[in-house]
């Protein structure tokens, strides 16, 4: 699991690369929380085009970050999930709080 972060204007782009499961969740959580503390921004975009695998553990990780972020920034988006990951997002209803953008 690799996390790449860049701040463009007021938007923090978080690119998740690899496989997000129970095994990589703690590491991913730590990296994300550190980055989210370090920068200031209005919007967050989780860029998932290179996230090859995610199971429902990933839903827990994203909703956990959402709870920490909702008072700190205006919008949180999810971008470019694979078809399979998108199905998990739809089952969980996460797009209602973190809309999908392309």
Partner 1 sequence: MNYKNKMNLKFLGVSENESFARLAVASFCSNIGLSLEDLSDIKTAVSEAVTNCIVHAYYDKLGEIEINCVITDSYIQIDIIDNGVGIENVQEAIKPFFTTKPDKERSGMGFTVMEGFMDKMIVKSEINKGTKVTLIKNLKK
Task: Output the CA–CA distances (angstroms, integers) from residue 16 to 58, 71, in the order listed.
Answer: 11, 23
φ, ψ for residue 79, nearest 5 deg = -125, 135
| H or E element that contains 16 | strand 11-20
Q: Return the residue of 63, 70, 75, 97 that touches partner 1, per CB under 8 A.
A: 63
Q: Is 97 a residue that touches partner 1 (CB under 8 A)?
A: no
Between 60 and 100, CB nearer to partner 1: 60
Cβ 26 to partner 1 shortest distance, Å: 9
Q: Residue 11 or residue 29: which is nearer to partner 1 going by CB?
A: 29
Residue 3 touches partner 1, criterion: CB under 8 A? no
- Return the bridge partners of 17, or none: 2
């Amino acid at each position: 699991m690799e996390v790449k972060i860049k701040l463009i204007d007021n938007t923090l782009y978080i690119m998740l690369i690899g496989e997000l499961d129970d095994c990589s969740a703690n590491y991913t959580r730590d990296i994300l929380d550190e980055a989210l503390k370090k920068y200031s921004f209005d919007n967050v975009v989780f860029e998932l085009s290179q996230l090859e695998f995610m199971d429902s553990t990933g839903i827990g990780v994203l909703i956990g970050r959402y709870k920490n972020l909702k008072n700190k920034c205006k919008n949180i988006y999810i971008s470019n999930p694979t078809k399979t990951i998108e199905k998990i997002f739809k089952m969980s209803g996460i797009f209602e709080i973190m809309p999908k953008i392309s």
